[in-house]
Amino acid sequence: MIEFLRSEGIDESVLARLEDFRRAYPCTEGSAHRIPHPKFRYYGREIWQKALIALLSGENILLVGPKATGKNVLAENLAAVFGRPAWDISFYLNTDAASLIGTDTFRDGQVSFRQGPVTQCAEQGGFGVLDEINMAKNESLAVLHATLDFRRIIDVPGYDRILLHPATRFIATMNYGYAGTRELNEALASRFMVINMPIVSGENLQKLLLEQHPTLKATWAEQLAGLFEDIRQKCESSEISTKALDLRGLLASVTLVENGLRLGPALEMGLVNKIFDDFERQLVADMIRLRIDGALSAEDLFERT
């Protein structure tokens, strides 16, 4: 992974501090199984640089951006490069203090405290991914205030306070614009350094397509990245909504082609059919038709192996 960061152009001074961090906090046997081995790598030098420096400085970070901008991929990649165990904690409307820090349980007639994911992560020097943090009610997150600021503690009512291990960091993600998404209140937002996640660049999209589909022909990586760029421009000029600007859908379409579907129907399933407005759907379908012959299949897109 460090070699990958070097090839992405991350500053040597940052990489040196990352190595120092890893030496200072070698992973213990018990939590080694939680260190991620990412299937995908995150592409984007600027974002890497910001995230690494913030975490090395002891800050927690909040990744904000539209769907499929690699927020979870980056969070997982970060735990991997820091060599830390990761906890994935999904937030939803009913997330409450107990589900985060833990709760009393009865075992063999005795009351004992069963740790929640935030508490486990805090004690073991983990990287806690607070996924879709804005989905929860702000009031139920007040319990995290002392955890996320300089106090670095968890105060469990009726028990000792738990001090955060010095390697513990929290990486929150949040989407905006979806139905049901809420704003994060100021008190919570104030406890993070915030990184706005961009839509992947055309050049990085080509790298990404070739990483996920090594036998995809380079000309097709370019064509598909071009198509995505077309859709992005139409979104930016507000001609269409962002429903079809779905990288996840594009990547899945390529997999469907690899598995035997023709390109037209695959892109329809991955991109076009996500739009429920007739006029807009037609517009996107036409854009695709202009660039791409829908009858093409795996034989055309992939190198024979």
Ligand X SMILES: Nc1ncnc2c1ncn2[C@@H]1O[C@H](COP(=O)(O)OP(=O)(O)OP(=O)(O)O)[C@@H](O)[C@H]1O
Binding of residue 72 to Mg ion (CB under 5 A): yes
Q: Which is nearer to Mg ion, 78 or 154 (CB)?
A: 78
With respect to ligand X, which residue has the nearer C-beta, 125 or 249? 249
Q: Return the residues of window 30-49 that contact ligand X according to CB under 6 A.
A: 40, 42-44
Minimum distance from residue 181 beta carbon to Mg ion (Å): 12
Q: Which residues contact 40 (CB under 8 A, 6 or more apart)?
A: 73, 208, 211, 212
Tokens of 210: 């070739």
CB of 101 to ligand X, least distance (A): 24
* C-alpha–C-alpha distance, residues 56 and 167, integer Å: 9
Q: β-strand 193-196 against 61-64: which pairing, if any? A: parallel
**Amino acid of residue 130:** L
Tokens of 136: 């929860």
Residue 67 interacts with, from ligand X, Mg ion, none (CB under 5-8 Å by kind): ligand X
Cβ nearer to Mg ion, comparing 72 with 223: 72
C-alpha–C-alpha distance, residues 141 and 136, integer Å? 8
Looking at the Cβ atoms of 71 and 191, the one nearer to Mg ion is 71
Interaction between residue 262 and ligand X (CB under 6 A): no
169-174 and 61-64 as β-strands: parallel, antiparallel, unpaired? parallel
Distance, in Å, from the CA atom of 303 to the CA atom of 92, rounded to the nearest integer, reads 43
Q: Where in 283-302 is the site for Mg ion (CB under 5 A)?
A: none
The partner in contact with residue 85, picked from ligand X, Mg ion, none with C-beta cut-offs of 5 to 8 angstroms by kind, is: none
Residue 71 or residue 243: which is nearer to Mg ion going by CB?
A: 71
| Shortest Å, Cβ 177 to Mg ion | 14
Q: Is residue 208 a contact point for ligand X (CB under 6 A)?
A: yes
The SS3 call for residue 234 is helix
